[in-house]
Amino acid sequence: MSAQAADDAPCVADVFGSQPLPRPKRQPYPWEAGAPIDFFMPFDPPTATAQHKGARVHKGEVFFYTKAELREIEEMLRAQMAPFVVAAPLDGPLSLLMEWFFPWRKTEPAKNRVTGRKWHTSKPDCSNIIKAPEDQLTRLRFWHDDGQIADLRVIKRWADTPGIRVVITQLSEE
């Protein structure tokens, strides 16, 4: 099979669904080695979290499943992150910064919008919103395992331009 055919081949079926997902194309590492990976995905950030999973009991056994809403969010995040896939997974300890920019509420006073950003202090919680995108970064092979993240920072704000900014930095071993 040629390299072109391998890139076009679908990957293994998604564990949450029956449809095969397209394999993201590995592009040359767009940043200099050792420089942070920094990208912005402009879209309304999802508000469903990894807690949107369900459980059911069948014949005395408990089965866990991902609800359709969370499955759709995971697919959307994967599609948004795919263009930024690195050539090879990062090694060693990593720092992950995720800035979530939510669209202004319709009731937000104009005086609060002057700065263009304001702290977002309502739900979803920072600790809950990080799981789905972190899992998708792992699935897309930005790193080998999310256990490599030794430094994690999550910021939530209301903003004029909604989206999610991701910054991944390799940490020194010292």
Please list, residue by residue across 119-136, b when 16 or more beta carbons sit within 10 angstroms of its beta carbon and e when fewer do: ebeeebeeebbbebbbeb
Each residue of 11-24: pLDDT tens digit?
A: 444 444 445 555 55
State both tokens at 64.
């866990």
Tokens 């309304």, residue? Answer: 44
* Identity of the highest mean pLDDT range in 63-67, 124-128, 140-144: 140-144
- Position 38 scores a pLDDT of 92
Return d(Cα 63, Cα 147) in angstroms, integer: 26
Cα gap 28→103, rounded to integer Å: 33
Paired tokens of 119: 């702290």
Residue pointed to by tokens 């990080």: 130
Give me the pLDDT at residue 126, please.
86
pTM for the full predicted model? 0.72
- Percent of the chain having pLDDT more than 70? 72
30-74 pLDDT tens trace = 555 667 899 999 988 887 666 556 666 778 887 666 667 778 888
> Which residues have a Cβ under 8 Å from the Cβ of 154 and sit 6 or more positions away?
97, 98, 100, 126, 127, 129, 130
Output the pLDDT for position 47.
Answer: 75
Q: Model confidence at 156, in pLDDT bands (50, 70, 90)? A: very high
**What's the mean per-residue pLDDT of the chain?**
79
Q: How far apart are CA 48 and CA 98, in angstroms?
A: 16
The 3-state DSSP class for residue 94 equals strand
pLDDT band for position 134 (cuts 50, 70, 90): very high
pLDDT at 13: 41
Cβ atoms within 10 Å, residue 45: 21
For residue 82, the Cα-to-chain-centroid distance in whole angstroms is 10
Q: 149 pLDDT exceeds 90?
A: yes
What residue spans define the domains of the chain?
Answer: 9-170
Rounded Cα–Cα distance for residues 85 and 82 (Å): 5
Q: Picking from 34-48, 54-68, 97-111, 157-171, which range would have the lowest pLDDT averaged per residue?
A: 54-68
Higher pLDDT, 2 or 160: 160
- Nearest C-alpha neighbor of 164 from the set 71, 84, 59: 84
CATH topology of domain 9-170: 60s Ribosomal Protein L30; Chain: A; (3.30.1330)
- Phi/psi for 17 (5° steps) reads -145, 180
